Amino acid sequence: MPQGCVFIDGEYVTPEDARMSIFDMGFVWSDTVYDVTSTWGGWFFMLDEHLERFARSCAGFRLENPHGPDEMRRILAECVARSGLENCYVKLQLTRGVLKDHIRDPRLGEPAFVAYAIPYAWIWGEEKCRNGAALHLSGVERVSSRAIDARYKNYNRADFVQARFEAYDQGCDDAILVGADGALTEGPGYNIFVVKDGRVATPDSNVLEGITRRAVAELCDEEGIPYACRRVEPEELGAADELFASTTAGGVMPVVRLGDRPIGNGHAGLLTGRIQSRYWRKREEGWHGTRVEDILEAA
């Protein structure tokens, strides 16, 4: 169990003590939305953007959040402060709660909000997030947004888990999935970017609208790199000069192999490196940042 601090049932507890009812329909129906932000050097990154997306996820799942944005800001800052950590993985989630009639009517749930701060996590481990990972183009189809809308960040992720098993079987670090319409979508927790002839493209539908993806668009703009959010074909992966991925839990992450074929020269691409360096340099400087201390002092 990681170190850190969890806000649950109105109290701050250790991760070991953070337990929920097995009858919470957030578990039984995967009727839960969430978001993940981070702190780096004591600064939250794009906190309001995460809170706004969380609000959209709640509305999309028809879950009523008992906490307003200011209250959530204070709870998250309190979790970080109590964790004693500078670099945190910070999660907030809202579950349907236990239903009064136990099995039937989701309108009878009392949604339960949970938040926590634990040590900053690197989705592929720090070394591979910085220097590059191998992805497997999965045969598992991504759940369609017509069934469960990927824009609402949620816990229905069994497709991702099976795709990841498949990736490990193939000697890769993680998976990338294709949707029912044949277009490229995303991986388990990250957006994907194709670099070809100096241009960056990322899938526009059936994906989470990543906050780090938004940061990448901004960085491309600053670097004068053409950026497009459009339909991306799976074939573009193999034909790319460079590939990279983005997520809160790893930032801008090079992809250096697809299946058993190296991408480019098998090392992180130059354009990817420019975006990645700028991303971390700006984060160190407090880019789009909110100081944890400032939230606590204002409270």
User: Which residues are near its own copies by CB under 8 A?
Assistant: 1-2, 6, 8, 15, 18-23, 25-32, 61-62, 89, 96, 98, 102-107, 114, 116, 118, 121, 123-125, 140-144, 146-148, 154-162, 164-165, 168, 180, 249
C-alpha separations of 29 from 105, 155, 239 in Å: 12, 10, 40
Query: Closest approach of Cβ 270 to its own copies, in Å?
Result: 28
Closer residue to its own copies (CB): 60 or 273: 60
What's the closest the beta carbon of residue 283 comes to its own copies, in angstroms? Answer: 20
Closest to its own copies by CB, 164 or 283: 164
For tokens 């074909």, name the residue.
233
What's the min distance (Å) between Cβ of 119 and its own copies?
9
Q: Burial letters for 211-246: b for 16+ Cβ neighbours within 10 Å, e otherwise?
A: bbbbbbbbbbeeeebebebeebebeebeebbbbbbb
Is there a contact between 38 and 279 (Cβ–Cβ < 8 Å)?
no
Least spacing, CB of residue 101 vs its own copies, in Å: 8
Report the nearest approach of its own copies to the CB of residue 66 (Å).
17
Nearer to its own copies, 43 or 124 (CB): 124
Least distance (Å) from its own copies to the CB of residue 215?
Answer: 20
Tokens of 83: 């964790």
- Residue 128 or 278 with smaller CB distance to its own copies: 128
Distance in angstroms (rounded) separating the CA atoms of residues 153 and 207: 10
What CA dihedral angle connects 27, 122, 178 and 161, to 10 degrees? -40
Dihedral sign for Cα atoms in the order 83, 86, 91, 92: positive
Nearer to its own copies, 188 or 269 (CB): 188
- Tokens 């789009």 — which residue? 288
Nearer to its own copies, 207 or 275 (CB): 207
State the Cα–Cα distance between residues 191 and 232, nearest whole angstrom.
Answer: 12
Helix (H), strand (E) at residue 254: strand 251-258
Nearer to its own copies, 63 or 295 (CB): 63
Q: Taking the complex as a whole, how short is the minimal distance between the CB of residue 32 and its own copies, in angstroms? A: 8
Between CA 174 and CA 243 the distance in angstroms is 14
With contact defined as beta carbons under 8 Å apart, do 86 and 130 qualify?
A: no
